[in-house]
């Protein structure tokens, strides 16, 4: 019967081309607008490390003095060098990574390439296994390299392509700020979204090109360019950051299970109490241990205007569906005579209702195709925006499926009332009027 209903639907739609075009256009506009904004929201609010995010946590402690103290205020988002190193060397987690961002001058060996600046990440060895960073060539440096302040570097695939033509560059030398670094690894394509491990560098920033041990960056005096908050005698002087009362480093830990999370939170409390007894910490003990996804929520990583645009787009889709309901109602009631004949020849209300719903589904499918084209156009326009997340606006397979499900589902929903109303017409009256 479905094939028969589909044939009837196609014939009916061809007979009323203008009305059909209006209904398809209404659905296409609503679907196109809603899927464009929903896709952007889906990309921006996704899990940056599926399967691993539930084990990643961001420890926070409060080392500040009493100046400006407010009870109940959250601890700083970053840690000092002293506290970061103490927490790192305590090794109370399965993995831990201390880091900051920077920009380094790269001096290519090839005379054909001018020196240039690249975004850098100064971090510790556990960064790579903890964040599941894939390697194209080589491997990460080890903990011994951190301790020895070794001149080793891991570079991105993009930088490897630029300097070495995509060949295996492990063992080669990369000169950074007049210092020779040995390349030990090349990262494969990897761009977690959002840029969760350091949102100070931009919520949706791309991957850094140069990765250097944090201890080495201090020894070579590579410049960091992240955020900084100082108090007391802190001046933010790059030459003495290891001793100044300033928070400027990010610290992440991997905790496998609720028991480890509880134990680590207790450790943060005990550590703060110890530092307070030593006179370093002045404020009451104040610690926090948000998980990765909670950390993103706390910092409102997803732009508020994107959420607002999504709600507005779905409101527009609702308006389009209301208009479609009116058009379908007019179309179905105009066919009262045809439907009355079918009823008189033995078709039940249920069969006529099914026939009209199939016609609604065909309209929705056509609207879905149009909406998909409009969504591609909308995402293309988004990618041309001067925002750090613009390049991420692409329709993946899941959103493609949602587009057609939403289009067909919306049209079926819009067709329920018109189809039900058309089925209530008495066939005898229609036959009498013929």
More confident site: 146 or 47:
146
- Using DSSP bridges, classify how beta strands 173-176 and 95-107 pair: parallel, antiparallel or unpaired: antiparallel
Q: What is the mean pLDDT of the segment spanning 161-168? A: 94
**CA 419/CA 333 separation, integer angstroms:** 9
pLDDT score for 335: 66
Q: Is the pLDDT of residue 416 over 80?
A: no
Placement of tokens 């028991």 in the chain: 259
**CA 12/CA 356 separation, integer angstroms:** 10
pLDDT score for 346: 63
CA count, 13 A, side-chain hemisphere, 49: 21
Q: What is the mean pLDDT of the segment spanning 272-296? A: 93
Q: Is the pLDDT of residue 431 over 60?
A: no
User: What are the two backbone dihedrals, phi and then psi, of residue 267, each rounded to the nearest 5 degrees?
Assistant: -65, -40
DSSP characters over 378-412: HHHHHHTSSSTTGGG----HHHHHHHHHHHHHHHH
More confident site: 204 or 166:
166
DSSP characters over 8-73: HHHHHHHHTHHHHHHHHHHHHHHHHHHHHHHHHHHHHTS-SSTTTGGGEE--B-----STT--TTP
pLDDT score for 236: 64
pLDDT score for 259: 95
Q: Which residues of 196-234 are buried (b: 16+ CB within 10 A; e: fewer)?
A: bbbbbbebbbbbbbbbbbbbbbbebebebebbbebbeeb
**CA 140/CA 280 separation, integer angstroms:** 35
List, for residues 226-242, the tens digit of each pLDDT value: 788 988 877 666 666 78
Q: Is the pLDDT of residue 69 over 60?
A: yes
Q: What is the mean pLDDT of the segment spanning 272-297? A: 93
Give me Rg for the CA atoms of the chain. 31
pLDDT score for 353: 75
Q: What is the mean pLDDT of the segment spanning 388-404? A: 72
pLDDT score for 315: 85
List, for residues 18-37, the tens digit of each pLDDT value: 887 888 888 888 888 888 88
Q: Is the pLDDT of residue 408 over 80?
A: no
Confirm if 217 and 122 have CB atoms less than 8 A apart: yes
pLDDT score for 196: 87
Q: What is the mean pLDDT of the segment spanning 252-273? A: 96
**CA 120/CA 102 separation, integer angstroms:** 5
Query: Does the pTM exceed 0.75?
Result: yes
pLDDT score for 361: 79
pLDDT score for 5: 63
pLDDT score for 92: 95
Q: What is the mean pLDDT of the segment spanning 128-133? A: 95
pLDDT score for 337: 62
pLDDT score for 4: 65
Q: Prior bond to 194 cis, omega within 30?
A: yes
Q: Which residue, 408, 401, 318, is CA-closest to 359?
A: 408
pLDDT score for 149: 95
Q: What is the mean pLDDT of the segment spanning 390-412? A: 74
Q: Is the pLDDT of residue 157 over 90?
A: yes
**CA 17/CA 28 separation, integer angstroms:** 16
pLDDT score for 247: 93
Q: Is the pLDDT of residue 97 over 60?
A: yes
Q: What is the mean pLDDT of the segment spanning 150-158? A: 96
pLDDT score for 342: 66
Q: Given pLDDT bands bounded at 50, 70 and 90, which one contains residue 54?
A: very high
Helix, strand, or coil (residue 361)? helix
pLDDT score for 132: 94
pLDDT mean across residues, the chain: 84
Lowest mean pLDDT among 88-102, 130-144, 265-279, 292-306: 292-306
Q: Is the pLDDT of residue 173 over 70?
A: yes
The rounded percent of the chain whose pLDDT value lies above 70 is 87
Q: Is the pLDDT of residue 428 over 60?
A: no
Confirm if 223 and 237 have CB atoms less than 8 A apart: no
Lowest mean pLDDT among 71-85, 99-113, 204-218, 415-429: 415-429
Helix, strand, or coil (residue 374)? helix
The rounded percent of the chain whose pLDDT value lies above 90 is 41
Q: What is the DSSP letter of 291?
A: B
Q: What is the mean pLDDT of the segment spanning 124-140? A: 96
**CA 176/CA 424 separation, integer angstroms:** 80
pLDDT score for 1: 66
DSSP characters over 222-290: PPB-S--EE-TT----GGGTTTSSEE-BEEEEE--SHHHHHHHHHHHHHHHHHHHHTTS--SPP--B--
Q: Is the pLDDT of residue 421 over 80?
A: no
**CA 13/CA 9 separation, integer angstroms:** 6
């Amino acid at each position: 019967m479905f094939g028969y209903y589909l044939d009837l639907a196609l014939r009916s739609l061809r007979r009323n081309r203008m009305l059909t075009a209006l209904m398809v256009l209404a659905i296409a506009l609503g679907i196109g607008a809603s899927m464009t904004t929903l896709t952007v929201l889906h990309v921006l609010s996704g899990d940056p490390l599926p399967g691993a995010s539930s084990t990643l946590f961001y420890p926070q402690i409060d080392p500040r003095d009493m100046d400006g103290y407010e009870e109940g205020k959250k601890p700083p988002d970053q840690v000092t060098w002293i506290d970061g190193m103490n927490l790192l060397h305590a090794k109370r987690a399965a993995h831990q990574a201390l880091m900051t961002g920077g920009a380094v001058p790269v001096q290519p060996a090839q005379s054909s390439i001018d020196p240039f600046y690249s975004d850098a990440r100064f971090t510790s060895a556990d960064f790579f296994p903890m964040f599941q960073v894939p390697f194209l060539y080589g491997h990460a440096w080890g903990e011994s390299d951190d301790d020895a302040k070794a001149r080793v570097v891991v570079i991105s695939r993009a930088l490897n392509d630029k300097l070495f033509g995509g060949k295996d560059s492990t063992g080669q030398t990369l000169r950074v700020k007049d210092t020779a670094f040995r390349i030990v690894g090349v990262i494969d394509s990897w761009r977690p979204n959002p840029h969760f491990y350091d949102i100070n560098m931009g919520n949706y920033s791309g991957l850094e090109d140069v990765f250097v041990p944090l201890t080495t960056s201090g020894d070579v005096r590579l410049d960091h360019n992240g955020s900084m908050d100082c108090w007391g005698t802190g001046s933010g002087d790059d030459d003495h950051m290891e001793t100044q009362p300033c928070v400027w480093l990010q610290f992440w830990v991997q905790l496998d299970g609720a028991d480890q999370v509880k134990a680590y939170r207790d450790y943060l409390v005990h550590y703060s109490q110890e530092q307070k007894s030593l006179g370093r910490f002045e404020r009451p003990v104040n610690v926090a241990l948000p998980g990765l996804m909670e950390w993103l929520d706390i910092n409102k990583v997803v732009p508020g205007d994107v959420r607002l645009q999504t709600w507005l787009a779905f409101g527009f889709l609702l308006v389009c569906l209301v208009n479609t309901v009116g058009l379908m109602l007019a179309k179905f009631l105009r066919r009262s005579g045809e439907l009355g004949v079918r009823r008189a020849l033995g078709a039940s209300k249920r069969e006529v209702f099914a026939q009209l719903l199939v016609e609604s589904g065909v309209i929705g499918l056509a609207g879905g195709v149009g909406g998909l084209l409009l969504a591609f156009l909308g995402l293309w326009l988004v990618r041309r925006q001067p925002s750090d997340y613009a390049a991420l606006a692409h329709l993946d397979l899941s959103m493609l499926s949602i587009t057609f499900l939403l289009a067909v589902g919306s049209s079926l929903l819009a067709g329920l009332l018109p189809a039900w109303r058309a089925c209530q017409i008495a066939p005898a009256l229609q036959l009498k009027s013929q």
